[in-house]
Amino acid sequence: MGNSIVMNQTKQVEAFLQKTVQAIAGYLNETTIMGLLAEQDDVDQTYAEQLLSNLRRLVVYCEEGLEACRIVLGDEPFRKAAAEKALYRVYHSCIAEFFAPKNDAWYEDSRSAYTGRNSIKFRQTPPPSLQALIASVEGSFQAMREELEFYETDYRTKMMQSK
């Protein structure tokens, strides 16, 4: 891939991560466990804690990816290899963490993606505000996954060839 293509993808990912960090961090800054429990009667406290833990982990990964994109885009001359590595890491950490979080508080129903519906399913009934947040960012995560899938295989191939 040419430098301009990789640079444009890095800019696109930077914008996606900036928007995602703002949305999730804003939600986390305004949300408490007690607030989540008050939203709906049947929300389990332990489950609500897992959901917030997943969001905190996700926002940290997204912030790290955002910083990496900014560093790469600020370098003169543009370093294509560094950008590809950053995009691979964004795919591997941010995108993967969104669709398959560590403690499986939610999961991706891949069949739903083909129907145009949201593909994230929750193990238990989530608080409505959290469900709305996930639904609001899911489309962007799906678009970025499609955009960055190439780096998952390409970067690994390059690493194997360099050994």
Ramachandran area for residue 99 (φ above 0: left; ψ -120 to 50: alpha; else beta) = alpha
Tokens of 95: 């995108």
pLDDT greater than 80 at residue 32: yes
pLDDT tens digits, residue range 130-157? 999 999 999 999 999 988 987 766 555 5
pLDDT tens digits, residue range 34-44? 999 999 888 89
Tokens of 47: 């489950």
pLDDT of residue 62: 98
pLDDT greater than 80 at residue 1: no
CB atoms within 10 A of CB 64: 16
Q: Mean pLDDT over residues 10-30, rounded?
A: 98
Long-range contact list for 48-52, CB < 8 A, 24+ apart? 48/126, 48/127, 48/130, 50/103, 50/105, 51/105, 51/106, 51/126, 51/127, 51/130, 52/28
Backbone φ and ψ of 103, nearest 5°: -100, 15
Tokens of 40: 């709906």
Where do the structural domains in the chain lie, given as residue ranges?
A: 3-162
Band the pLDDT of 3: cuts 50, 70, 90.
confident
Q: What is the pTM of this model?
A: 0.88
Average pLDDT over all residues of the chain:
89
